[in-house]
């Protein structure tokens, strides 16, 4: 078993975070990840915009909807004492939804002692953390903030984040404008801040976990690898797309909160071309294409025009397995990698 400051902090078996990948649901994936011993994360973008539709007669506001989902995840992870959290983007475009989602997280903890023990983390990203310090701290959660640069990492630390997630540009989903990748970004962020750092972007297996720990991280966050699991909420077309893609089959294009890395298809090539032409000039057309593509990806529509976020790590993913198998395999490979390193170093 590999124990780090992250596992000690959260009480999880594995130093692994399942990324929040909105606007798609990650409820089932969160449950499976938490029950298997990782940190499971509920995505909230779809909840905030009500793109993820509640059942008829169910919650009518993002606050109510997230409360309902937290309750369901709490019940489904209670037996195994699974640890989970919520991902809440702080982008200016999402401003109207943020307060209700943070409040929903805090209220759920205040009203249920069991939830308070296991809903331990809010992960923020894609925006300025400073205006939200008081609201997040009031929830009692650990605050993890995603940073694509040293500048953003320092800003997150100053705002009060307990942990920085240094996310390199090879990762899937939202990325920085500047192409700073994990091998450079992660040690630079660790050097620049005085809080613990988690690595994200390019992590998919036990060998990459060891690499992240070797650079000084306390754990890793994975998104693309978790998509290709049996329990994930994503459509089979998307799961298969991850498995079929090589390390060359992704590109960065326009997205609602900034640039994002997509797996290659017709719509992502168009979004990439719009970004190359200029983010501001291509933004409206890009967001329209992305919005249509999101709807298609949820329903399993036209694979050429469905939005498939995905990172370069897709080139190292060749199977769709259970979350339990994934995490056990990561631990086994990580331990074997450490043993091999010791042998290679003459230990």
The 10s digit of each residue's pLDDT in 184-230 is 999 999 999 999 999 999 999 999 999 999 999 999 999 999 999 99
Phi, psi at 6, each rounded to 5°: -70, -45
Helix (H) or strand (E) holding 43: strand 40-43
Q: How many CB atoms sit inside 10 A of residue 174's CB? A: 23
Q: How many CB atoms sit inside 10 A of residue 158's CB? A: 12
324 contacts: CB under 8 Å, gap ≥ 6: 32, 36
Helix (H) or strand (E) holding 260: strand 258-263
First to last CA, the chain: 20
Pairing of strands 258-263, 173-174: antiparallel
Q: Which residues of 192-218 are buried (b: 16+ CB within 10 A; e: fewer)?
A: bbebbbbbbbbbbbbbbbbbbbebebb
Nearest to 308 by CA among 257, 231, 258, 244: 244
Distances (CA, A) of 201 to 117, 177, 185: 29, 15, 10
Q: What is the token pair recorded at 39?
A: 């940190």
Nearest to 317 by CA among 252, 225, 255: 225
Q: What is the token pair recorded at 140?
A: 């009692």
pLDDT score recorded for residue 22: 76
Q: Read out DSSP for 111-139?
A: H-HHHHHHEEEEEEESS--GGGHHHHHHT
pLDDT score recorded for residue 60: 77
Here the contacts of 237-241 (C-beta below 8 Å, separation 24 or greater) are 237/297, 237/300, 237/303, 237/306, 238/297, 238/306, 238/308, 239/320, 240/320, 241/265, 241/303, 241/308, 241/310
What residue ranges define each of the domains in the chain, with the CATH number in brackets?
5-234+322-341 (3.20.20.70), 238-299 (no CATH)
- Residue 70 and residue 63: Cα distance in Å, rounded? 11
Give tens-digit pLDDT for 22-72: 788 899 999 999 999 999 999 988 787 666 665 665 667 889 889 999 999
**Spans of the chain below 50 pLDDT:** none
Taking a C-beta distance cutoff of 8 angstroms, is the pair 206, 337 a contact? yes
pLDDT score recorded for residue 58: 64
Q: Read out DSSP for 187-212?
A: HHHHHH-SS-EEEESS--SHHHHHHH
pLDDT score recorded for residue 56: 60
pLDDT score recorded for residue 57: 58
Nearest to 260 by CA among 18, 22, 17: 22
Establish how many alpha carbons lie within 13 A of residue 317's alpha carbon, considering only the half-sphere containing its beta carbon.
30
């Amino acid at each position: 078993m590999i124990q780090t400051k992250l596992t000690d902090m959260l009480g999880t078996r594995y130093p692994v975070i399942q990324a929040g990948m909105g606007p798609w649901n990650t409820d089932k994936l969160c449950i499976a990840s938490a029950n298997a011993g990782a940190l499971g994360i509920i995505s909230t973008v779809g909840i905030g915009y009500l793109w993820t539709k509640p059942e008829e007669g169910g919650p009518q506001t993002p606050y109510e909807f997230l409360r309902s989902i937290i309750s369901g995840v709490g019940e489904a992870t209670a037996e195994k004492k699974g640890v989970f959290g919520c991902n809440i983007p702080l982008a200016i475009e999402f401003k109207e939804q943020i307060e209700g989602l943070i409040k929903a997280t805090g209220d759920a903890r205040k009203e249920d002692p069991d939830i308070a023990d296991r809903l331990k983390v809010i992960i923020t990203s894609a925006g300025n953390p400073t205006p939200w310090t008081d609201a997040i701290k009031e929830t009692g959660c650990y605050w993890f903030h995603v940073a694509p640069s040293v500048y953003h990492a320092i800003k997150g630390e100053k705002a009060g984040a307990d942990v920085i997630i240094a996310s390199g540009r090879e990762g899937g989903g939202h990325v920085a404008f500047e192409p700073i990748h994990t091998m450079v970004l992660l040690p630079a962020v660790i050097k620049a801040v005085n809080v613990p750092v988690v690595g994200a972007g390019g992590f998919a297996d036990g060998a990459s976990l060891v690499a992240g720990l070797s650079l000084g991280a306390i754990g890793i966050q994975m998104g693309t690898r978790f998509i290709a699991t049996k329990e994930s909420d994503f459509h089979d077309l998307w799961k298969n797309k991850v498995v079929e893609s090589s390390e060359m089959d992704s590109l960065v294009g326009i997205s609602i909160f900034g640039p994002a890395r997509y797996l290659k298809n017709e719509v992502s090539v168009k979004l990439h071309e719009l970004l190359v032409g200029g983010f501001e000039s291509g933004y409206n057309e890009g967001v329209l294409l992305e919005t249509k593509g999101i709807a298609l990806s949820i329903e399993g529509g036209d694979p050429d025009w469905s939005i498939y976020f995905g990172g370069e790590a897709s080139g190292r993913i060749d199977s769709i397995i259970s979350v339990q198998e994934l995490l056990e395999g990561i631990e086994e490979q990580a331990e074997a990698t450490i043993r091999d390193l010791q042998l290679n170093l003459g230990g």
